[in-house]
Amino acid sequence: MKKPTAIMIHHTAVSYQFNHDQFVANNSYHKNQGYTRSSLGFYLGYNYEINREGLIRQARKDGEITCACYQKNMNDGHCLHIAIDGDFDHEQPFKNEIYALRDKLRALTKKYSIIKSAIVFHRQYAPKSCPGKNMDLSFIRSLV
Ligand SMILES: [Zn+2]
């Protein structure tokens, strides 16, 4: 287990219209992808996933190995990964998702003394748009 020093934000890239609550589907999908089983018994690659109602579910303990970003050792446990249900290249996040993300970011940055600039987007590390073109990093950091 590592001490968390960073937080990375993701989207699931699956639209609400196909699945309103994606934790279970993503867990199965990641199991089929061969992702490691977490100490909590899940295969989901992220530490946390937020659904459209703002419900946050945890799949991996803070500091545990993740399967979320293969660049720059971002899976070694030092980075906490939070995924938000939705495809934010094509739709906007729900208010409840942003409120839940805000509360979680506040709690995690306080608990582990993580600085605001260590809140990052997946697209800064990998050639993809994650967490979607409609997500703005300075806005997300301003929530903390
Ligand atoms: Zn991502």
Task: Give per-residue pLDDT as tens, 72-124.
Answer: 999 999 999 999 999 999 999 999 999 999 999 999 999 999 999 999 999 99
Give the model's pLDDT for residue 19: 82
Q: Does the residue 75 lie in any domain? A: yes
pTM of the model: 0.97
State the distance from the centre of ligand 1 to the C-alpha of 89, rounded, in angstroms: 12
Structure tokens at 49: 């996933």
CATH label of the domain that carries residue 45:
3.40.80.10
Q: Does the residue 125 lie in any domain? A: yes
Provide the residues around ligand 1 (an ion) whose CB is within 5 A.
10, 122, 130
Confidence band for 21, pLDDT divided at 50, 70 and 90: confident
Average pLDDT over all residues of the chain:
96
State the distance from the centre of ligand 1 to the C-alpha of 84, rounded, in angstroms: 10
CA 56/CA 61 separation, integer angstroms: 13
Q: Does the residue 107 lie in any domain? A: yes
CA 3/CA 60 separation, integer angstroms: 14
State the distance from the centre of ligand 1 to the C-alpha of 129, rounded, in angstroms: 8
Residue 103 belongs to what H/E stretch?
helix 95-112
Q: Does the residue 1 lie in any domain? A: no
Q: Does the residue 138 lie in any domain? A: yes
Q: Does the residue 66 lie in any domain? A: yes
**Strand order of the sheet with strand 48-50?**
56-58, 48-50, 79-84, 6-11, 119-121
Taking every pair of C-alpha atoms in the chain, what is the biggest distance, in angstroms? 37
Give the model's pLDDT for residue 84: 98
Q: How many structural domains comprise the chain?
A: 1
State the distance from the centre of ligand 1 to the C-alpha of 110, rounded, in angstroms: 23
Domain boundaries, position 74? 6-142
Q: Does the residue 117 lie in any domain? A: yes
